[in-house]
Amino acid sequence: MSEALIERLVNFAESGNQQKIVLNGQTHQGWIMEITDEALLISTGYSDKVGKDNWIAFKDLEQATLSYWDNKKDLWADFKL
């Protein structure tokens, strides 16, 4: 994976209070916990009982819509890879 893409994903992970990934009609909203050479881990939910961790492959992100919660504007802001 290109270092530039990983750097963009780190920027995405550090943007806003939460991140949202919409992929194939399914929404994953939460926090980016880890980025590897092939995928990222997003933790959703609000507790161990309700939360769920999802690995999303970089190749799948090409088809996904990414956004983050902008605290200053109180809205979801689009993020482009």
This prediction has a pTM of: 0.88
Among the listed residues 42, 40, 31, the one whose alpha carbon sits nearest the alpha carbon of residue 69: 31
So what's the pLDDT on residue 47?
A: 61
* pLDDT score, position 2: 82
- Domain residues for 18? 3-73
The CATH number linked to 64 is: 2.30.30.100
* Paired residues of 57 in beta bridges: 39
pLDDT, one tens digit per residue, over 4-63 is 888 999 999 999 889 999 999 999 999 999 999 899 999 997 766 677 899 999 999 999
Tell me what pLDDT residue 1 has.
62
What is the per-residue pLDDT for 61? 93
Domain for residue 59, yes or no? yes
Q: Which two tokens stand for residue 46?
A: 């609000």
Residues 6+ apart with CB under 8 A from 58: 1, 5, 9, 38, 39, 40
Q: What CA–CA distance (Å, rounded) separates 18 from 77?
A: 11
Tell me, yes or no, whether 80 lies in a domain: no
